[in-house]
Amino acid sequence: MTVRLRDENFRKASNLAGYTSVYGLAKAMGINRSSVKRVLEGVMRPGPAFIAGAVTVLKPFSFDDLFEVVAYVPQTKRHEHADNW
């Protein structure tokens, strides 16, 4: 099993919380901008620091709102540009 980001929910929650850039969100989450960008682009899976930061700064959204637990599937890159929403 692994954790996968619910992309659309995550972006909506980020916007509703006032984060309009990857930089601002990463700073609030206490992690590197490149880590947030890689997760949003599908290059990297969300790790413990990403998950903890997200559920902390994107309250009242919960883990289940932002992430889903799925059977392990090899990572594939989504070709999205994540600098801004």
Answer whether residue 81 shows pLDDT above 60.
Answer: no
User: 2-65 has which fold?
Assistant: 434 Repressor (Amino-terminal Domain) (1.10.260)
Helix segments in 1-85, DSSP class H: 7-16, 22-29, 33-41, 48-57, 63-66
Q: Give residue limits of the domains in the chain.
A: 2-65
Residues of the chain with pLDDT > 70, as a percent, come to 85
In this prediction, residue 83 carries a pLDDT of: 58
pLDDT one-digit tens code per residue, 5-42? 999 999 999 999 999 999 999 999 999 999 999 999 99
Whether the full predicted model's pTM is greater than 0.85, yes or no, is: no
Q: Check residue 72 and give its pLDDT.
A: 80
Report yes or no: 44 and 35 within 8 Å, Cβ to Cβ.
yes
